Amino acid sequence: MKCPFCDNPKTKVIDSRSIEDGYAIRRRRHCLKCGSRFTTFERREKVQVSVIKRDMSAEPYSREKLANGMYKACNKRNVPAEVIEKSMDQIEEAVMKAPDKEISASEIGDMVMTHLRQIDEVAYLRFASVYKRFRDVSEFHKELGELMTEETNRSV
């Protein structure tokens, strides 16, 4: 692994730790030339999955798109990044384990909605308003009513 500071190809691993429930390894490295320390991550290679969009076009699965949607929904909410990342890991694992190597965008959206509903109700509503393409306030109100009914049933 080349040093990111001096491009020296000779580095030494100081420490290795399993992360993401054993699906990745975090390595601390030391450059033998400049003495800098840096971190690398090793993840298993992911099977390429195609996402079938609403217009029936396909595109490669992108963790960045998933992260973008979830972080936007949780923006300015008191949701720790670790919670979002763990949910993203669980969603990604489900996507990668799908029997077909094609999954619909709506299946991924449903998984995101399920996770956001458990994490933060406001983030859930934010995501739902875009994902479900609310056309007016009445659709938003209906979704909010369902959420409130569910919350009432949980507290009884």
State pLDDT tens for residues 10-43: 999 999 998 877 778 999 999 999 999 999 998 7
Q: Is the pLDDT of residue 2 over 70?
A: yes
Q: Which H or E element spans position 70?
A: helix 63-73
Bridge-based pairing state of the strands 50-52 and 102-104: parallel
* Residues 66 and 135 placed together within one structural domain of the fold: yes
- Mention every residue, 6+ apart, whose C-beta is less than 8 A from residue 12: 29, 30, 32
Is 2 domain-assigned?
no
pTM above 0.95, yes or no: no
**Domain membership of residue 27 as a residue range:** 11-43
Note whether residue 4 is domain-resident. no
The total number of structural domains in the chain stands at: 2
**Residue 37 sits in the same domain as residue 56:** no
Could you tell me if 55 and 28 lie in one domain? no
Tens-digit pLDDT profile for residues 120-135: 988 988 888 777 766 6
Domain shared by 95 and 137, yes or no? yes
Q: What's the rounded Cα separation, in Å, for the pair 34 and 129?
A: 51
Per-residue pLDDT, 97:
85
Identify whether 147 is part of a domain. Answer: yes
Judge if 90 and 151 occupy the same domain.
yes
